[in-house]
Amino acid sequence: MWGTFQLRYYRVTGENLKFPHLKVLIVIISVGCLLLAICFLLSLSALMEGFALWHTSAYYHIVTMINMNCALWYINSRAIREASRSLSRCFRRDVKIECNAAMISTYRFLWLNLSELLQTLGNAYARTYSTYCLFMFVNITIGMTSITYLDILKPSFTIKNLMIFPKV
């Protein structure tokens, strides 16, 4: 959808849609998300008694994925903001040069296209986070059921086991 919008934007405005510092931002955010996941899991290992460092290896991809999902939302929000500002700037520029119904109609179509793009993006993120919440609900339910059965089978169950069991 972005490609179609950018092509229409170029046809209407006569200039390319620019996203300043996009590559640098993507690299910084990607490395930052990975470092944030490492720091989080290392601190989890250090603060939880009985949670060995090697236990964290199973969680790096999950925490990084959650961080990257938030980062992708941020990058897409910046792109939408930049596209709307650029479209507004070009519209003001072209209205000063020549203001007619055909030109206003093409900009209106482009603005509606951007609005549709934003709605589609919002729906995609709503589905993504709904799926994530459902996934977490199922995991927590399975974990709590397992803990309940373990408590019945092993009466010497402690809080320490409660923290370690779902992760091992």
- Structural domain count of the chain: 1
Nearest to 161 by CA among 56, 51, 53: 51
State how far the Cα of 168 lies from the Cα of 92, in Å rounded to an integer.
60
Q: At 7, which helix (H) or strand (E)?
A: helix 2-13
CA within 13 Å, CB half, 156: 0
Which pLDDT band holds residue 160 (cuts at 50, 70, 90)?
A: low
Give the least confident one: 10-14, 146-150, 159-163: 159-163
- Tell me the mean pLDDT in the region 159-163: 58
72 phi/psi in degrees, rounded to 5: -65, -40
CA 67 to chain centre: 7
C-alpha distances out from residue 86 to 4, 55, 57, 64, 114, Å: 16, 48, 44, 32, 12
Contact 6, 17 (CB under 8 A): yes
State how far the Cα of 52 lies from the Cα of 79, in Å rounded to an integer.
41
C-alpha distances out from residue 19 to 94, 128, 155, Å: 21, 25, 60
State how far the Cα of 89 lies from the Cα of 117, in Å rounded to an integer.
19
Contact 50, 166 (CB under 8 A): no
**Domain encompassing residue 75:** 1-164
Which pLDDT band holds residue 68 (cuts at 50, 70, 90)?
A: confident
- Tell me the mean pLDDT in the region 79-107: 92
Higher model confidence: residue 109 or residue 140? 109
Contacts of residue 149, Cβ cutoff 8 Å, sequence gap at least 6: none
- Tell me the mean pLDDT in the region 15-20: 90
Provide the residue count of the chain: 168
pLDDT score for 29: 92
